[in-house]
Amino acid sequence: MDDLDLEKLRAPLPLPSYPEGFRSGFACFVGRPNVGKSTLMNALVGQKVAITSDRPQTTRRTVRGIVHRDDAQLIIVDTPGLHKPRTLLGERLDSLVRSTLVEVDVIAFCLPADEPIGRGDTYIARELAAQRDTPVVALVTKTDRTDRAGVTRQLMAVEQLGEWADIVPVSAQSGFQVDTVADVLCGHLPEGPPLYPDGDLTDEPDEMLVAELIREASLEGVRDELPHSIAVVVDEMAPRENSRPGRELVDIYASLYVERSSQKAIVIGAKGARLREVGSAARRQIEALLGTRVFLDLRVKVAKDWQRDPKQLRRLGFDQQT
């Protein structure tokens, strides 16, 4: 997986024409888990491309969303929550985040309006202060969750936290200032031609989006510690041969990895009831994504302590980025 080769992506496509002064480039969103990064990216792009959830650290992979405007093309690299490494998996995530930070044109640092600034935010602010070459825009998110005075207080607190190219309050939920965020981020992009054809919203391979949708479904209603122990790999995904025109079907075989057999029992549920629910919830989402009917075969497997085992991490796609 080489989804951070931004230099290669910068090679302009032979596109017919673009207005003078057109800007294009990359932005990435950082912030503690659960601060609303994925939701804001979706609001900017206008379609569900990243997975959102109430649970922290849902976003494990870098998903790009593309904002197409008449005057700019903003490619958003959505990163996992920047946090202090605890497990080997954590260390990999952080090195992925760091390599992203130096390659993008602008960094959006998200802090929620309704929570006091904490140690996690201060840690990230310190990390960002080291990225001297990349402008950082601070976004005060979820403004709908507090009143005007609360937003003002948070803006002032964020101002004190570091040196920002801009500070913008925004609510992805109500739509307040989402366009302003796009304007501000685009303002930091270099002039250049569009890098993606019009209409592309993400270049994430379907398999990865499908795996994330299955993982999202599998997180529903399980104990708090379980989410971090579930990984999903799509083993095979192909259109069914000889399916009738207008009744196309895609066969998907996926493995859901847990760390211990006790977790396997939880995921499968009594007589397989839970796994069936996960399967049908995921299937509905995947059918909406792909626009065809889907046959989904889900297998639960134990990959002992996969979060701490480099070989397993590689197999599950969390390879060290070079």
Ligand X SMILES: Nc1nc2c(ncn2[C@@H]2O[C@H](COP(=O)(O)OP(=O)(O)OP(=O)(O)O)[C@@H](O)[C@H]2O)c(=O)[nH]1
Which residues contribute to the site for ligand X (CB under 6 A)? 31, 33-39, 52-54, 56-59, 81, 141-142, 144-145, 171-173
34: nearest Cα among 142, 124, 155: 142
Query: Please, which residue, 158 or 275, has the CB nearer to ligand X?
Result: 158
> Is there a binding annotation on residue 62?
no
> Is there a binding annotation on residue 242?
no
- What are 182's two structure tokens? 């796009």
> Is there a binding annotation on residue 143?
yes
Query: Please, which residue, 127 or 251, has the CB nearer to ligand X?
Result: 127
Alpha-carbon gap, residue 126 to 135, rounded angstroms: 14
The region, left, alpha or beta by phi > 0 then psi within -120 to 50, assigned to residue 57 is: left
Minimum Å distance from CB 100 to ligand X? 14
Is there a contact between 218 and 255 (Cβ–Cβ < 8 Å)?
no
> Is there a binding annotation on residue 38?
yes
Query: Please, which residue, 173 or 243, has the CB nearer to ligand X?
Result: 173
Minimum Å distance from CB 213 to ligand X? 14
Is there a contact between 82 and 127 (Cβ–Cβ < 8 Å)?
yes
> Is there a binding annotation on residue 35?
yes
Measured CA distances, 72 to 47, 59, 190, 219, 322 (Å): 18, 26, 10, 37, 29
Angle at the Cα of 39 from the Cα atoms of 5 and 229, rounded to 5 degrees? 75
Query: Please, which residue, 41 or 256, has the CB nearer to ligand X?
Result: 41
Minimum Å distance from CB 142 to ligand X? 4
Minimum Å distance from CB 271 to ligand X? 31
Annotated binding-site positions: 31-38, 78-82, 141-144
Annotated binding-site positions for GTP: 31-38, 78-82, 141-144
